[in-house]
Amino acid sequence: MRDALQVLAVLAAVAAGLWAWRRYHYPSFWLALGFPIVALSVRTSWRRVALGCGLTKKRQRFWFTTVPGLVASTGIVRVKRKWQRIAVDTKPFMWLPLPTRHGWRVTLHTLEGQTPGDYTVAAERLAHSWGVHAIRVSSPGPGRVVLMATMRDPLVKVDELPASPELLKVTVGRLETGKPWLIDFRTVPHWINAGATQSGKSNLANALIVGLAPQPVALVGFDLKGGVEFTPYAPRLSALATCRAESVGLLDDLVALMIDRMGLCRQAGARNIWQLPPGVRPVPVVVLVDELAELYLMADKSEKDEIAKTSTALLRVAQLGRAFGIYLFCCGQRIGSDLGPGVTALRAQCSGRICHRVNDPETATMTLGDLDPAALASARAIAAETPGVAIVASQDGQWYRARSFYVTEQAAEHAARTHAHLAPPWDEITAHLPQPINA
């Protein structure tokens, strides 16, 4: 009988492991097999862990005690066969942990007076108590908190860049949850990509170029580092500005294009270009800016007017571009208020935020400042040995640690050459505009 029960238990464990392996695409069957043990240990240790991490609350309970000199968990109660009111530590109710690709997740019911923030504050303590790489906290609804545990850092190695067949959507990397990191310009039109030198900004821009190159979109580059970053991708770019004068001209074109599309939409009674019939819908434009600070830095006073024009035009594109199919992806080593009020206003318009490793806290604050403070702490903890790792404000309103796929300059150059025939000429795009073309 005992032997049969043991065999049954092993079979049940193997079945649970198999199910977790298939359902959650576990990297290894053996890892999946160990899950029931992990789940059990999380569940049984919850009282101790919650107490240790300060997530319990004292509640009054009536206890009927029959043992003289009973020592209650919260104080000594000397009673003999009588009801006694004592304060006990209550832990938040925990559901059964469920397996995920890189660990497990569990839903908790918060106690009265608790907010998800209390769990975020305790996240590091929880991770150490359970011996996992990290615990992330989210709240699916009032009174519920989900703890997501990752056993090992899933961003140590990310796979190859997959194809991105959907218009204006590019899978550029992987989130720490194991899900794809998606940049979808139609959902989040404007992005800021900040990071110190060698942090992986250009790698991310490369991934974007490889993803967008086969799509029917016009790519426009601003590279005030003399064009060293974007010139190799020129075959797929419809226009490229490499100095301040060219930038002013190209931005004038973009503003004129936007105003022209505005008129087109007004005539057709459409609110944006996506409501126009496909035959008359203009081509979407993705604007890539390498080193935002170069657009705003003033070497001498003679540049003052040009900088003011640049700043205003870029801000107008950010304010109105979404409806008219003009999207921004701005990279910068340093994004601070000292670059001028134009940068602060531009940042407010960019809801897509990516913060790689940065040198100064102000850049992290400017990039992620209005997100959870834990995102800021996480951004400052990115190690120099992990280029490409970034904190990303995602489309679902949450923030994630993520890592871009490694895309070499050669791969991006190859994509730019291969799809050069898909680059709509800038002269063609701007042919009907009333202004002279400078690009």
Ligand X SMILES: Nc1ncnc2c1ncn2[C@@H]1O[C@H](COP(=O)(O)OP(=O)(O)OP(=O)(O)O)[C@@H](O)[C@H]1O
Contacting positions for ligand X (CB under 6 A): 195, 197-203, 333, 387-388, 403-404, 406
How does DSSP assign 182-224, residue by residue?
EEETTTS-EEEEE--TTSSHHHHHHHHHHHHTTSS-EEEEEET
Residue whose pair of structure tokens reads 């206890």 in the numeric block: 63
CB 211 within 8 A of CB 397: no
- The residue type found at 413 is E
Nearest CB to ligand X, comparing residues 21 and 405: 405
Q: How far is the CB of 259 from ligand X (least distance, A)?
A: 33
Residue whose pair of structure tokens reads 């190690």 in the numeric block: 383
Question: Does 138 appear as a known binding residue?
Answer: no
Nearest CB to ligand X, comparing residues 119 and 222: 222
Nearest CB to ligand X, comparing residues 244 and 357: 357
Query: Which residue of the chain is nearest ligand X when measured via CB?
Result: 388
Q: How far is the CB of 258 from ligand X (least distance, A)?
A: 29
Phi, psi dihedral angles at 183 (to 5 degrees): -110, 110
Q: Return all residues near 228 (Cβ < 8 A) that are at least 6 apart.
A: none
List, as own/partner pairs, every contact residues 394-398 make where C-beta atoms lie below 8 angstroms and the sequence separation is at least 24, other chains included.
394/175, 395/182, 395/184, 395/187, 395/188, 398/138
Q: How far is the CB of 359 from ligand X (least distance, A)?
A: 11
Q: How far is the CB of 269 from ligand X (least distance, A)?
A: 44
Question: Does 20 appear as a known binding residue?
Answer: no
Question: Does 202 appear as a known binding residue?
Answer: yes
Nearest CB to ligand X, comparing residues 60 and 197: 197
Question: Does 201 appear as a known binding residue?
Answer: yes
Nearest CB to ligand X, comparing residues 92 and 388: 388
- The residue type found at 338 is D
Question: Does 195 appear as a known binding residue?
Answer: yes
Nearest CB to ligand X, comparing residues 177 and 199: 199
Q: How far is the CB of 413 from ligand X (least distance, A)?
A: 14
Q: How far is the CB of 291 from ligand X (least distance, A)?
A: 8
How remote is the C-alpha of 234 from its chain's centroid? 29
Q: What separation in angstroms does the CA of 38 have from each of 65, 97, 306?
A: 35, 9, 61
- Gap between the Cα atoms of 146 and 105, Å rounded: 7
Question: Does 279 appear as a known binding residue?
Answer: no
Q: Which residues are annotated as a binding site?
A: 195-202
Q: Which residues are annotated as a binding site for ATP?
A: 195-202
